[in-house]
Amino acid sequence: MRQADPVADAAAAAGLAGSDKDRREHAIVVEYILDTLAPFCRSLGTPEGTRLTSTRSMWHLGTPIEGVLKDEGLPSAVLAARLHPTPAVCGLPCNRAEELIRKLEPVPRDYYAGAVGWTDAHGDGAWHVAIRCAEICGAEARLYAGAGIVPGSDPEAEVAETGGRRLEGQRRGRPAGPGGDSPRHMASRSRQGLHCSRAQLRGRPGHLRART
């Protein structure tokens, strides 16, 4: 989590950067995305490597992934469907992890951890995972957040991390209007996404950019 004191905040960033557990957790997701996208790409890689990124309340590890599609006409929705759900919201192996989630989690996920995005008539689009999100109805909002559990995870630290993510949602939440008869809406902020352009992105046809 981010800290108000600059020295403590720098220490928190350094702690995340040097955390073997967090780097292993992050690497699992990066490897999954690379393995999933590789059959569709002429070139694919992580030219910027893994680095620290941040929001107002949290420090994160981030890895931009860039590639050039073999088929420039491949719709972004097809790639998003292949990637979802990533290990960040499901785990590995996917089928077994999904079975355990259904048994162990006390409430349905609903919109949480779903794919949110858009695609146009050409197949270009942008897709994100609703990891930190809120279901908004009138003046009420239900916040969703979670954490990845891997060998080496500390239960108290995972609870604190999840609480920090929910706090970020509270700070950003702006439910509008009284009453509970308004349509349900979904608001999401995610560091994990896929941008795909068949026509042109960064001056190259069939270019895609994913981030985790």
Q: Is 174 exposed, middle or buried (CB count within 10 Å of its CB: 0-12, 13-18, 19+)? A: exposed
Write the CATH number for 142: 3.60.120.10
Assigned domain for 178 exists: yes
- pLDDT given at position 167: 58
Assigned domain for 76 exists: yes
Phi-psi region of 50 (alpha: psi -120 to 50; beta: other; left: phi over 0): beta
Mark the ranges of the chain whose per-residue pLDDT is less than 50: 175-190, 198-203
Assigned domain for 1 exists: no
Residue range 48-104, pLDDT digits in tens: 999 998 877 788 899 999 998 999 888 889 999 999 888 988 888 989 999 999 999
- pLDDT given at position 177: 42
How many domains is the chain partitioned into structurally?
1
Assigned domain for 128 exists: yes
- pLDDT given at position 168: 60
- pLDDT given at position 212: 76
Assigned domain for 93 exists: yes
- pLDDT given at position 51: 92
Assigned domain for 61 exists: yes
Q: Is 189 exposed, middle or buried (CB count within 10 Å of its CB: 0-12, 13-18, 19+)? A: middle
Predicted TM-score (pTM) above 0.75: yes
- pLDDT given at position 165: 64
**Contact in structure between 1 and 164 (CB atoms under 8 Å):** yes
Cα–Cα distance for residue pair 87/97, rounded to 1 Å: 9
Assigned domain for 72 exists: yes
- pLDDT given at position 56: 79
Assigned domain for 164 exists: yes
User: Which residues are bridge partners to 117 per DSSP?
Assistant: 127
Q: Are strands 140-144 and 132-137 parallel, antiparallel or unpaired?
A: antiparallel
Structural domain of 54? 6-211
- pLDDT given at position 115: 86
